[in-house]
Amino acid sequence: MRTKIIGLALIVAVLVGGFSWRAVDVAATNKFPYQAKVGTAVLNIRSEPSLQASVVGQLRSGDVVTVTEEDDDGWVQVKRNKLSGYAAGYLLNKTSGGQAANASPTGGKVGTSPGSVAVVTADSLRIRSGPGTSYKTIGSLKQGDQVTVTGSQSDWLKIRTPGQVNGWVAKDYVDNGKVQTQHASSGTGIRGKLIVVDAGHGGSDPGMIGTTYETKEKTLTLSTAEYLRQELQRLGAKVIMTRTTDVKPELSERVQVSESNRADAFVSIHYNSSVKQTSGTLTFFYSDKKDRPFAAAIESRLDRSGIGLRSNGLSFGDLYVLRENDTVAALVELGFLSNRKDESIVRGASYQRNAAAAIARGVADYFN
């Protein structure tokens, strides 16, 4: 059965609590339960907090739900009449109580001229289709994400993300990009290291499509990349994503994100396919001297992590994001969508979380 997928990647919930004429467009700290309105035309309610979970019902724009729980990945548990399940939190707008967390403006020093670099200073920041809170939310950014300024209007900046999402953000919650563009961290250990996480494919390029459940690779790579971001940040690393929504950055753009920020490492997430009934993970490197030790550290963790699929070891890969990347880089294939067993396993959020945790530990091992 074809899984129905919301086009935008799940990001940490951004529930607005306005307390002055300038509505704060950042994540909220909530006391449960609370009421929220559906902020999209159609909201899928799922049986579990995962994009691969079955849809148990749908709500329409303006419907009011009771939110009873929220997890670290931005999923919220909701109830409306007899319908209950999980939804993407960023598609809901809180209707009562509370004031936004980290609501004090911490940025606003960014240049407004086209081509300026800006870095998000809030925990979570909405991207809107126009310069104001009345415009539709089209995406979200996290603290440390870097964007390019393409214009400005009053207290709003027109921006473009590395994943080529164009929209508007509140000026007060971004700052200039000096920290990231001059990064080049020093010292041992993963703390403070800048890691670029690349979710393969996206947009018009679905990648591999599962032969049993028709799972799209681009959806799996994005959700897994988000779990990896969380794990790396938990270990003290700084993270930039090459895409956070369902768009397709060019391969050269993915590499540019890494090199322009002088990142310490680059990890690309993919899922595999084969005409044979091959199963398991595979980790690619290009440069034997530069990349292989990094890829080996990741593969070693995947091999002994007990994530549910065996490791097929290391392999040389003449792949653009590795070959053209001056940054230490690896590309990880996390299972075969052409294999019924693999596809069934990798669709689960628990597998993706465990795989991401293993990769993050491998990255940490490399820097230790």
Q: Which of 1-15, 237-251, 333-347 is most confident?
A: 333-347
Rounded CA separation 242/179 (Å): 18
Question: Poorest-confidence range of 17-21, 63-67, 252-256, 261-265?
Answer: 17-21
According to the model, what pLDDT value does residue 74 have? 65
Q: With bands split at pLDDT 50, 70 and 90, how would you rate the model's confidence at 141?
A: confident
How many CB atoms are closer than 10 A to CB 135?
15
Q: How many residues does the chain have?
A: 368
Check pLDDT > 60 for residue 12: no
Check pLDDT > 60 for residue 277: yes
Check pLDDT > 50 for residue 146: yes
Q: What is the DSSP letter of 100?
A: B
- More reliable by pLDDT, 347 or 38: 347
Check pLDDT > 50 for residue 211: yes
- pTM (whole model) above 0.95: no
CA triplet 249, 181, 133: central angle to 5 degrees?
65
Q: How many CA atoms lie within 13 A of 288 on its CB side?
A: 0
Q: With bands split at pLDDT 50, 70 and 90, how would you rate the model's confidence at 193?
A: very high
Query: How is 21-79 classified by DSSP, letter by letter?
Result: SS---B-B--PSSEEEEE-SSEEEEESSSSTTSPEEEEEETT-EEEEEEE-TTSEEEEE
How many CB atoms are closer than 10 A to CB 153?
13
What tokens were used for 53?
A: 């979970």
pLDDT per residue as tens digits for the range 155-186: 788 888 877 788 988 887 787 754 333 344 44
According to the model, what pLDDT value does residue 122 have? 67
- More reliable by pLDDT, 2 or 366: 366
Q: Is 198 helix (H, G, I), strand (E, B) or coil?
A: strand
Check pLDDT > 50 for residue 98: no
According to the model, what pLDDT value does residue 9 have? 38
Among 346, 170, 171, smallest CA distance to 269 is for: 346
